[in-house]
Each structure stands twice: as C-alpha cells, then as structure tokens.
C-alpha cells in the first residue's frame, strides 16, 4: 500500500498526460508556453478569482506575495505555530520576523482569539494556513486585519478545492497561494504553485517579480526572482484539473469512511460549519503514537507525521524572540498526530483495511 499513490494516478490518466507532455515537447516552448496561459485561465475560473499567477512552487508563491506586499527587515507577520515551515520561513528570508500564534483545538488552524494580542506597531500582515485541507475562520481573520490595516495571505497549499461559506479556498482574502507539489490534493510532476488575487496592480507586480522584475525583455523595474512554472507542469495540471473534483469527492468519501470506523477512538480535527475539507491529510491524534505506527508498519501500512515539531521550536528559528513561549495545542499535536494513507484514488477496501488495523491496534 502507498501513502499517496502517484503511480496509480499517472497510470489512470496516462494517455491524456503523455499526450499533453508530448505537445509541449513538440512545441519546445518550455518556458511561458501557451499551456501557462491556458492553465491560469482554468485556475482563475475554478477558484472564482480574477487573476491566477502560476509560479515555481508554493514556497515561491509565499515569497513573491510577501515581496509584492513590500515586506522588509523589521516587519512582523503573524502565522500559525503549527504548519509546514514555508508558511513562516519566507517571512524570515526577507529579514522580517514571523510571529507565531498557537492553533485552535477545533480545526487545528490559527486560533483567531489569540491574534490581536500578537499585533504590534511592526505587524504588516497575517498568513492564514489551512491545515490538512480545511480553511481557517477567514471572516474573523479578515475582520481583524481590516481593523488594524494588515494584509492577509491565505496559505491554501493544502486546501485547493475546499470551500468556505460558499466560496472556494484561494478566493477568501486579497492574496492566496497554493502548491502543486506532487502529493498535494492537486499536484503536478515536479514543483509548482500559484497565487490568486482580484487586485490588478498586485497581479501586475507579482508577474513582474516572478520574472526578475522585468517589464520588457532585459528591462528590470524591480528586484525579482526566477519564479516561473514550467510549461510541461502546466500542461499536466490542465489534465489533472479535469479529474480533480472527482478525486476530491473520493477523498471526502474516504475520510468519512475512516471516521465512521475509527472516529470514536482518536482525536480528529472538527470540520466546522459551512466548510469542507479536501483532506490533504487524514490525520488522527493518539496517545501511544509509536505503538500505533509499529502496528501499522507490520501490516505494510505507511504513515507520516505532520508535523513532529512546532515551528517556533525548529532549530532554523534559533534565537527567535518567541522560542521560549508556550504553544499548548501545537505541542500536544506534534507529540500525538499521525497521518494515514490518503489520495484521490484510494479505494474503499484500502481505507477499511487501514481503519480496522488502527481500531485493533488501539484496543
Ligand atoms: C506544501 C506547503 C507549502 C509549500 O509548498 P511547496 O510547493 O512545496 O513549496 C507551503 N505551505 C503549506 C501549508 C504547505 O503544506
């Protein structure tokens, strides 16, 4: 059994994907080929946002967004203490300070009741991460941001395709980023990402920053990066986007089946009202995590830990002013969470087998 079966996915869509790749090879427009514009239109239609700007990864999408917002040394940006490191590290890379806020015990996303206590005169924005595939309380986050004149970036690397109050994830704040890393809900076959905004000026700036701050060939208005997506990746994503809703449905059915079989025995994030999750991860929390992982490994079931260390305790943030602060929920989850196999084509039989093995191991 595979944790995330990408070879099954490739073989299922093989003829369409091979055809798309070979068209790019024939055109030999490996950078800025027509598949990029096609995909950007498809992504913006899918999410319901005016501009989709493809880029080289979710990490670069975060970096470019923070650059477009003018983040510089001395600034502070608020983010959750429990996430993948990129949500915080791109703030540091620009010389600014990530200010960590604990997550809520309900949805495992940033605890909105603790945000305002962390705002100072140096705070410029909030990065709101949607952990495991469910959006945080974006209305509350946008309200706080408006009250204090802050920007909001939705880090939707795990929630592309999820919904919140009738809107799609990536359409919930001025700027949103996502990742097409192969194992994400919508993944390409290498690195890729995208940024979403309705703001024309921001979109122009982001496009410029993505390509060395260039306005015309070899005319550079700003200091930028090489942050473009490859044409081949865009052509693959266009194929996979056609099958994406079906895969999301399958993930949601798999998650429901998991929860029916093991839900009472473990701690799970609550899916809150008017939200849906795309289940980037199906993650349970148990007291005897090592014992459970061993029992699953014996049956050939792979697992993964998202994440073993809260961000403020990562060595990379040595010397951070909040390193000694306490993050109760982040710490508890880092010691107890384990993710079970989950992907867009997982079968009912596989889910039942894993879930029953978990139930037996916890007896
Ligand atoms: C995966 C991920 C990223 C980074 O995406 P890459 O495409 O791997 O650079 C950023 N934020 C979160 C929450 C992620 O899960």
- The 10s digit of each residue's pLDDT in 298-329 is 999 999 999 999 999 999 999 999 988 999 99
Q: In what order do the strands lie in the sheet with 275-276?
A: 167-168, 163-164, 275-276
Binding site membership of 233 for ligand 1 (Cβ less than 6 Å): no
- In 3D space, the residue among 155, 152, 151, 185 whose CA is nearest the CA of residue 84 turns out to be 155
How remote is the C-alpha of 151 from its chain's centroid? 18
Q: Look over the chain and give the mean of its residue pLDDT values, rounded to a whole number.
A: 97
Q: What does the alpha-carbon distance between residue 89 and residue 247 come to, in Å, rounded to a whole number?
A: 31
Nearest atom (ligand 1) to Cα of 131 = 13
Binding site membership of 86 for ligand 1 (Cβ less than 6 Å): yes
Nearest atom (ligand 1) to Cα of 181 = 7
Q: What does the alpha-carbon distance between residue 55 and residue 29 come to, in Å, rounded to a whole number?
A: 16
Do 137 and 112 touch, CB atoms closer than 8 A?
A: yes
Question: For residue range 23-60, what is the model confidence (pLDDT) as tens digits?
Answer: 999 999 999 999 999 999 999 999 999 999 999 999 99
Indicate the Cα dihedral angle 198, 204, 210, 216, nearest 10°.
160
Question: For residue range 270-293, what is the model confidence (pLDDT) as tens digits?
Answer: 999 999 999 999 999 999 999 999
> Half-sphere exposure (CA, 13 Å, Cβ side) for 79?
28
Q: Where residue 351 falls among pLDDT bands split at 50, 70, 90? A: very high
β-bridge partners, 193: 55, 179
Residue 64: predicted pLDDT: 98
Q: Give strand ranges (E) for 102-218.
A: 123-129, 151-155, 163-164, 167-168, 175-179, 193-197, 214-216
Binding site membership of 281 for ligand 1 (Cβ less than 6 Å): no
Binding site membership of 155 for ligand 1 (Cβ less than 6 Å): yes
Residue 323: predicted pLDDT: 86
SS3 assignment, position 282: strand
Q: What's the token pair of residue 283?
A: 């993650």
Q: Where are the alpha helices (DSSP H) in 228-347?
A: 231-262, 289-298, 328-336
Binding site membership of 59 for ligand 1 (Cβ less than 6 Å): yes
Statement: the pTM of the whole predicted model exceeds 0.75: yes
């Amino acid at each position: 059994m595979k944790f995330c079966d990408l070879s099954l996915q490739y073989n299922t869509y093989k003829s369409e994907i091979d055809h798309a790749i070979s068209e790019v090879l024939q055109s030999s427009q490996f950078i800025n080929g027509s598949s990029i514009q096609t995909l950007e239109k498809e992504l913006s239609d899918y999410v319901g946002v005016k501009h989709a700007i493809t880029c080289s990864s979710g990490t670069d999408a975060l970096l470019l967004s923070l650059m477009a917002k003018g983040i510089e040394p001395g600034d502070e940006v608020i983010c959750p203490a429990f996430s993948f490191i990129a949500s915080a590290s791109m703030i540091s890379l620009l010389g600014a300070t990530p200010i960590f806020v604990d997550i809520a015990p309900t949805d495992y996303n940033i605890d909105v009741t603790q945000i305002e206590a962390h705002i100072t005169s140096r705070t410029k924005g909030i990065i709101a991460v949607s952990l495991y595939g469910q959006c945080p309380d974006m209305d509350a986050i946008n309200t706080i941001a408006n009250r204090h004149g802050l920007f909001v970036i939705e880090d939707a690397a795990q929630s592309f395709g999820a919904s919140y109050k009738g809107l799609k994830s990536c359409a919930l704040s001025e700027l949103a980023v996502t990742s097409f890393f192969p194992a994400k809900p919508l993944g390409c076959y290498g690195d890729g990402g995208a940024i979403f905004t309705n703001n024309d000026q921001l979109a122009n700036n982001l496009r410029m920053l993505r390509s060395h701050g260039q306005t015309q060939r070899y005319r550079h208005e700003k200091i930028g990066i090489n942050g473009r997506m490859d044409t081949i990746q865009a052509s693959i994503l266009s194929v996979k986007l056609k099958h994406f809703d079906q895969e999301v449905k399958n993930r949601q059915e798999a998650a429901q089946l998991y929860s029916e079989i093991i839900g009472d025995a473990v701690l799970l994030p609550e899916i809150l009202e008017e939200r849906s999750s795309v289940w980037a991860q199906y993650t349970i929390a148990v007291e005897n995590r090592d014992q459970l992982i061993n029992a699953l490994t014996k049956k050939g079931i792979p697992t993964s830990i998202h994440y073993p260390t809260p961000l403020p305790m990562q060595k990379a943030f040595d010397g951070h002013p909040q390193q000694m602060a306490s993050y109760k929920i982040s710490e508890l989850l880092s010691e107890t969470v384990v993710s079970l196999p989950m992907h867009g084509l997982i079968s009912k039989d596989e889910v039942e087998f894993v879930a029953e093995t978990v139930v037996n191991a916890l007896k």
